[in-house]
Amino acid sequence: MNRSGLPVLILHTGDPNPSLTERFGGYADFMKAAAGLDDADVHVVPVFLGERPREARHYRAALITGSPANVTDRDAWGEETADWLCQAARDGLPMFGICYGHQLLAHALGGRVDYNPAGREIGTRQLELVADDPLLEGLPRAFPVQTMHEQTVVELPPGARVLARSAMDGCQLLRLAPHIVSTQFHPEFGVDFMREHLRQYAERYARENIDAGAVAGELRATPESAGLLRRFLQLYATDAALAA
């Protein structure tokens, strides 16, 4: 199927709280900026508000955002989106999921998601690559990433392969299919957003014995991970890639 000239679908699965969204934008905005896309390039579908995407043949790729929701909640919109993702995978649509999107893809393709036995992972953490992959070509074997999650992929879908891990999460970066990858970490998050999130949620994290001020003090830029979305689109969703 020739997908050249078609938009990139952003499956918008939720947003930060209103004050963070007002200051930094919503998660679809984060995704669009990190992928280097403008409004003319994308079709944003807020599935968490009940909207539904068109069939996969109408897009050249799909990006799935993070969300405050949990996959284990089995929200009707999440399960319907998982069904769409499963069909889109069969149709060969290139897809990239982040955090909730990473977990939802794994769930859709036959894996299992649950709370991370190691606890909540928050802040800048070191990513360790454990496999070679075209998406990771030229990157160092270890580099920093931004994390913000309490659920994780606890069982891989059939045929999936782990590409990278962190000390608290063994499934930080997955190759789910030749045209599908996903990250538990957030390549789209910057230090300023992370710092303000930690400030606003300091009391909540304190109840989990997490010192948000200390975590904020250890934040640093994550340029290696920030380029992954653009790299993915270059590999799988440019006119040249789609014609190959």
Cα distances (Å, whole numbers) of residue 140 to 97, 131, 167, 221 = 22, 12, 17, 15
Annotation marks residue 171 as catalytic:
no
**102, 149, 171, 188: which is the annotated catalytic residue?**
188
Burial of 43 (0-12, 13-18, 19+ CB in 10 A): middle
Which helix (H) or strand (E) segment holds residue 147: the answer is: strand 142-149
Looking at 12, 99, 107, 121, which residue is catalytic?
A: 99
Place of tokens 């999650």: 149
3-state secondary structure of 127: strand
How far, in Å, are 22, 24, 26, 30, 197 from residue 19 at the CA level? 5, 9, 10, 15, 10
User: Is 188 one of the catalytic residues?
Assistant: yes
- Cα separation, 153 vs 72, whole angstroms: 11
Beta-carbon neighbour count of residue 71 at 10 Å? 26
**What are the C-alpha distances in Å from 185 to residues 6, 100, 157, 159?**
28, 10, 19, 21
Vertex 141 angle, CA 140 and 147, to 5°: 95
**Alpha-carbon gap, residue 244 to 242, rounded angstroms:** 6
Structure tokens at 172: 């930080």
User: Which residue of the set 12, 149, 179, 186 is catalytic?
Assistant: 186
- Could you list the active site residues? 99, 186, 188
